[in-house]
Amino acid sequence: MAFFRTVSFTEQLPAVVGEGVMLRPPQMSDYPEWTALREASRAFLTPWEPTWPPDDLTRSSFRRRIKRYAEDQRCDLAYPYFVFRRADNALVGGLTLANVRRGCAQTGNLGYWIGAIHARQGYMTAAVGCFVPFAFQTLRLHRIEAACIPANTASIRLLEKTGFRREGFAREYLCINGAWQDHLLFARLKSDPNP
């Protein structure tokens, strides 16, 4: 039955192109630009992310990350992408569809980050906007879920602008910046109208 079929990519995932952005799977050659952007954005990202391990920005840690990404994709568990500005191919951030669940759920969780110098310029809105149709059509999902800390008004606006609907509130949902944080829960269905 097609409803229960999983997606299988034997090669690299396809690039996804949107308004002013291009999404593609991370590669080892992205390490210098990724580590520079993440380091420059550390203070900006810290309130919204899990605590970084001490070796997070090392080449060996990035290599392990790339291997894990490939394994997660191969097993249809997660689909990581880096987001590049099309004008100059600069890395601006990343997004991942994680915790993919098949069977009767056909869903996954969307997470994203943007470099501090690229924030509030519409890049992540464009990235999520072009990724959602890819997730529904190519990955054949029925539902995409997302969560954000209530104080993260920029993320709330992004989700609402890209057609996600607020569905609830989860107490101490994720451990962010070393503390269990409450989150607002959002979702978008394949049948929802485009914003």
Question: Tell me: the pLDDT tens digits for 33-89?
Answer: 999 999 999 999 999 999 999 999 999 999 999 999 999 999 999 999 999 999 999
- The answer as to whether 182 is a domain residue is no
- Residue 164 β-bridge partners: none
- The answer as to whether 116 is a domain residue is yes
For residue 81, give its domain range: 12-144
DSSP for 126-171? HHHHHHHHHHHHTS--SEEEEEE-TT-HHHHHHHHHTT-EEEEEEE
- The answer as to whether 134 is a domain residue is yes
Q: What φ, ψ does residue 47 adopt, rounded to 5°? A: -65, -15
Amino acid at 135: A
CA distance 169 to 74: 32
Half-sphere exposure (Cβ direction) of 5: Cα atoms closer than 13 Å: 9
Q: How many domains does the chain fold into?
A: 1
pTM of the model: 0.92
CATH number at residue 118: 3.40.630.30
- The answer as to whether 20 is a domain residue is yes
Q: Describe the crossing of helices 123-137 and 153-161 by its angle, rounded to 10 degrees.
A: 50
**Sign of the alpha-carbon torsion through 112, 117, 122, 126:** negative
- Mean pLDDT in consecutive groups of 10 residues from the start of the chain, 195 residues: 51 86 97 98 96 96 96 94 97 97 96 97 97 96 97 97 97 96 98 90
Output the pLDDT for position 9.
57
- The answer as to whether 122 is a domain residue is yes
Residues above pLDDT 90, as percent of the chain: 91
Q: How many CB atoms lie within 10 A of CB 179?
A: 9
Amino acid at 106: Q
